[in-house]
Amino acid sequence: MMPFHPLAGSVHHHPIAENKAPWMALAPHLAETGFTSLVLGYGWKISASIDALPMQSGYPCDTHVAWYFGDFDWEGLRIWHELRAHAAVDVRLAVPFYAAFLAHPASIGKDAQAPAPEALDAFLAAMPDATRARFRETLVTGHYYPQEALTASELLACCKETLSDGT
pLDDT tens-digit readout, 110-167: 878 999 999 999 999 999 999 999 999 999 999 999 999 999 999 999 999 999 876 4
Please give the mean pLDDT across all residues of the chain: 93
Question: Which residue would you say has higher pLDDT here, 10 or 101?
Answer: 101
Asked if residue 54 lies in contact with residue 2, where contact means CB atoms within 8 angstroms, the answer is no
> In this model, does residue 78 exceed pLDDT 90?
yes
Contacts of 157 (CB under 8 A, 6+ apart): 96, 100
- Dihedral of CA 81/82/85/91: which sign? negative
Calculate what percentage of the chain has a pLDDT beyond 70: 94
User: pLDDT confidence of 8, banded at 50, 70, 90?
Assistant: low
CA neighbours within 13 Å on the CB side: how many for 2? 24
pLDDT score of 27 more than 90: yes
Under the banding of pLDDT at 50, 70 and 90, the label for residue 4 is low
* Phi–psi pair at 144, nearest 5 degrees: -160, 170
pLDDT (0 to 100) of residue 109: 85
Does the global pTM surpass 0.75?
yes
Q: Which segment of 36-40, 100-104, 109-113 scores lowest on mean pLDDT? A: 109-113
pLDDT of residue 2: 58
